[in-house]
Structure 1
Amino acid sequence: MAFQESSPVCSNAKPGRAAVFLDRDGTINEQMGYINHISRFHLLPGVGRAIRALNECGLPVVVVTNQSGLARGYFPASLLDEVHREMHRLLALEGARVDGIYICPHHPEAKEERYRQHCNCRKPKTGLIEQAATELGLDPASSYIVGDRWSDLRCGAAVGAATVLVLTGYGQGDAAYIGPKQAVQPDYVASDLEEAARWIIARTAAVQE
């Protein structure tokens, strides 16, 4: 079962509507390997503006993130909570918010037995998306998934969502060395989350016309 942290869905959200699912590390914050101390958590430039624009468009924004560092014993659950409180705080300073955070803490080689499993929530599996869709009343097939790894894109494709690869984090390397061999290709490639948000907002407006 995935961990979940959430705040109320925005007032404009309706059951079964589109949402934007965001990877965390390398998409929202700097890719630093494992965030094993709060001092290593830094929002990427433009992220607050990007998420605020999605909020203003009425699109729920949900973070879906693999956190195997928890499973491997590199940091405790309390640090993960601290990091996400800091993320909420920094986004709020820019008038932005996320409507939910869904975490996979599992890994087959986990140090702690409770996390040592082949789960259905570790991306590219779709459990995090399905859980968020059920709990928040969202429609994955009309949604968007944004991330810097091909695992994010495969997860999105599996639920019928539109996929966006950002070239922050591992994005440039994945685009150069992983992507050409993949059957799944992104619907859009963006330099960062701000460009991704502009594309999503424009595409959403076009679909609604």
Structure 2
Amino acid sequence: MAESEGFPLAEPGLWVERTSATNFPDGRPALFLDRDGTINVDTGYPDDPAAVVLRDGIAPVIEAANVRGIPVIVVTNQSGIARGYFGWDAFARVNGRVLELLAEQNAFVDMVLACAYHEAGRGALAVADHPMRKPNPGMLLEAGRRLGLDLSRSLIVGDKLADMEAGQRAGLARGWLADGEGSTIGGFSVSPLRGAHHVEELLTAIRSL
């Protein structure tokens, strides 16, 4: 992997960072999560680590996967970088704070992938419909390749339909939509994640992996 300015960039608009030293056997399912609006409260284009606040109920979900040896992978679109609102340095600081707050609740992420490509971007980041940008499944497939995952048994949690579509297109088993409604996308089951009973349903699914 080529690094730029010390950042783990696989290419100009793709961040791929292994954030734990855990070695997983091939064929494990994974828990994929969007970041902004799913793990932390969405503030638009987050660039200030001091403003990061975790969403209620998400740390126990991640911890449940940790306890069962299920890789936890963040897959996040970051068009603010493409648009020039902030750079990878600000992303790194915010992401570090997200991981720090999770760790304070005994929850840990194993890999982070971020896509900064966008049609309204600048320079090399000005790419429309890049395969790594959700709803395209590229980040999920890349994580699957790097960690030897069984995507067909994996789950995804997000706050946008683009997250669910990425999960469906990557061949995942099921998705949970924060603050959303239940639905199906091409046979892919999407459950709502709005209250304690929905969180418990997600926890049950994780425990059954």
Q: TM-score w.r.t. structure 1 length?
A: 0.83
Q: 1:93 to 1:206 in 2, by over 3 A?
A: closer
Cα distance in 2, alignment partners of residues 46 and 206 from structure 1:
19
- Of 62, 65, 86, 1:51 maps to 62
Which of the two has greater helix per residue? Answer: 1
User: 1:80 aligned to 88, 91, 112, which one?
Assistant: 91
Q: Could you tell me which amino acid in structure 2 is paired with residue 65 of structure 1?
A: T
In structure 1, the residue matched to 2:7 is none
2: CA distance, partners of 1:186 / 1:57: 23
**CA positional deviation for 1:140:** 1.5
RMSD: 2.3
Q: Matches of residues 39-188 of structure 1 in structure 2 within 5 Å?
A: 39-110=50-121, 112-118=122-128, 119-161=130-172, 162-167=174-179, 171=180, 175=181, 186-188=189-191
Q: How does 1:16-31 map to 2 (within 5 A)?
A: 16-31=27-42
Cα pair 2:74 2:113 within 8 Å, conserved: yes
* Post-superposition offset of 1:90: 1.1
Change (3 A) 1:204 1:43: closer
Give the C-alpha shift of residue 31 in structure 1: 1.3
**Would the alpha carbon gap of residues 130 and 74 (structure 1) be closer, same or farther in structure 2, given more than 3 Å must change?**
same
Residue of structure 2 aligned with 1:203, choices 202, 205, 209: 205
Letter in 2 for 1:191: R
Q: Residues 165-200 of structure 1, C-alpha deviation per residue, up to 9 Å, x if partnerless?
A: 111xxx4xxx49xx79x76764321216x7666434
Q: Shift of residue 203 of structure 1? A: 2.9
Taking a change above 3 Å as real, the CA distance of residues 9 and 18 of structure 1, as seen in their structure-2 partners, is: farther
2:63 alignment partner, SS class? helix
Distance in 1 between the 2:138 and 2:106 partners?
30
- Determine if contact 1:166/1:190 at 8 Å carries over to the other structure: yes
Residue matched to 2:3: none
Identity over the aligned pairs, expressed in percent? 32
Corresponding residue for residue 7 of structure 1: 19
Check whether the contact 1:153–1:184 (CA below 8 A) recurs between aligned residues.
no
Partner of 2:44: 33
| 1:147 Cα deviation after fit | 0.5
Gaps of 5+ in 1: none
TM-score, length of structure 2 as denominator length: 0.83
**Contact conserved, 1:65 with 1:104, CA < 8 A, in 2?**
yes
Distance 2:187 2:85 in 1: 32
Q: Which has the higher contact order (CA 8 A, sep 6+)?
A: 1
Distance in 1 between residues matched to 2:203 and 2:152, nearest whole Å: 16
Number of residues paired by the alignment?
A: 195
